[in-house]
Amino acid sequence: MIEPNGFKQHSLVTSLGRMVYYTADDQPWNATEFSEPQERPTLVFLHGFGGGSSAYEWSKVYPAFASDYRILAPDLIGWGRSEHPERNYQIDDYISTIIEFIEQTCTQATPVIASSLTAAFTIRCAIARPDLFKSLILTTPSGLSDFGQDYKRSFFAQLVSTPILDRLLYSTGIATSGGIRSFLETRQFAHPNRIYEEIVDAYLASAQQPNAEYAALSFVRGDLCFDLSLYITKLTTPTAIIWGQKSEFTSPEIGKRLADLNPEAIRVFQTLDDVGLTPQLELPAVTIGLIRQYLKVLN
């Protein structure tokens, strides 16, 4: 959980607890010698889920937009430095708290950038409250049970559903340096040589927060998964999708099928060769360039 230069931690209260977020309010982003102070439009970045996930996931991307936008990058409830209520998290927990966060921080419809399962939640948020969302730019948005697939039947989901064993697996196999690195290498990145120590350290710091296992195990058990194909046709917000060709969780073919269900709203579907689940960490410069392009196209 490393803050880029000039970004500071703030927080607000949601119905499930205090949510921490990061925004640029220090040097060099508040310098006025080059231009007159002016109100900048807001740009929100939402991280995905996995052992140790947090706003760090976007930290190599969002500073590139701080000169032109008011950046908001939260740790979602149960992750990072936000509160970790002891509960079995459900889909509605994240749909409601994402909406609450945007309601409390944004005064008009806002572009939102989101990743993986959180991106799928964000689609449902935009369906429920289209007035809050100006556009969506999403990396690998999937409910992880799309088109009738049932993630909960997978061996790992069944294994982690075993009481006591689930906590043991988390403490010994997920919330360790080796567990984090293994997950990043096998599930998140296309190329392990793109993983450096800062990434592992940031994920590990988040994974070892008190009660961090509750949200992580809810995710791994499949409690947060759903079939996005049942909802995506209702989306009206202009949307662009980026999909890594080597995503381990869901293939680009699934992504294209989802996009084809609603071509009126989903105006861009871009695959990236030789990239895994999180292009924002694996190829941040490419991701920045695509986001800049899509903000112009969609807005």
pTM for the structure as a whole: 0.95
Q: How do strand 70-74 and strand 17-24 relate by DSSP bridges?
A: antiparallel
Q: How many residues does the chain have?
A: 299
State the Cα angle at 237 between 127 and 282, rounded to 5°.
100
Give the 3-state secondary structure of residue 158: helix
Tokens representing residue 173 in the block = 């196999």
Query: Percent of the chain having pLDDT more than 70?
Result: 94
- The sign of the CA dihedral 68, 52, 194, 144 is negative
- Helix boundaries (H) for the chain: 91-105, 116-128, 155-160, 165-169, 177-183, 197-207, 212-221, 252-260, 279-282, 284-298
pLDDT, position 160 = 66
Q: Which of these, 62, 57, 52, lies nearest to 23 by C-alpha position?
A: 62
Assess whether pLDDT exceeds 80 at residue 235.
yes
Which of 150-164, 208-222, 265-279 is least confident?
Answer: 150-164
Inside any domain, residue 282: yes
Inter-CA distances, 49 with 128, 144, 203, 254, Å: 22, 12, 11, 19
**Which pLDDT band, with edges at 50, 70 and 90, does 77 fall under?**
very high
> DSSP per residue over 179-217, as a string?
HHHHHIIIII-S-GGG--HHHHHHHHHHHTSTTHHHHHH
The mean per-residue pLDDT over the stretch 63-85 comes to 97
pLDDT tens for each residue of 26-59: 888 875 555 555 689 999 999 999 889 999 999 9
How many CB atoms are closer than 10 A to CB 122?
Answer: 27
- The sign of the CA dihedral 39, 23, 119, 127 is negative
The mean per-residue pLDDT over the stretch 180-201 comes to 94
Winning range, highest mean pLDDT, from 20-34, 100-114, 149-163: 100-114
Assess whether pLDDT exceeds 90 at residue 159.
no
Inside any domain, residue 1: no
Inside any domain, residue 2: no
Inside any domain, residue 257: yes
Assess whether pLDDT exceeds 60 at residue 267.
yes
The mean per-residue pLDDT over the stretch 269-288 comes to 97
Counting the structural domains of the chain, the total is 1
Query: Percent of the chain having pLDDT more than 90?
Result: 80
CATH number at residue 283: 3.40.50.1820
Q: Which domain holds residue 113?
A: 7-298
Assess whether pLDDT exceeds 60 at residue 180.
yes
Which of 20-29, 138-147, 274-283 is least confident?
Answer: 20-29
pLDDT, position 8 = 94
Inside any domain, residue 54: yes
Inside any domain, residue 32: yes
The larger pLDDT score, comparing residue 149 to residue 242, is at: 242
Average pLDDT, rounded, for the chain: 93
Assess whether pLDDT exceeds 90 at residue 157.
no
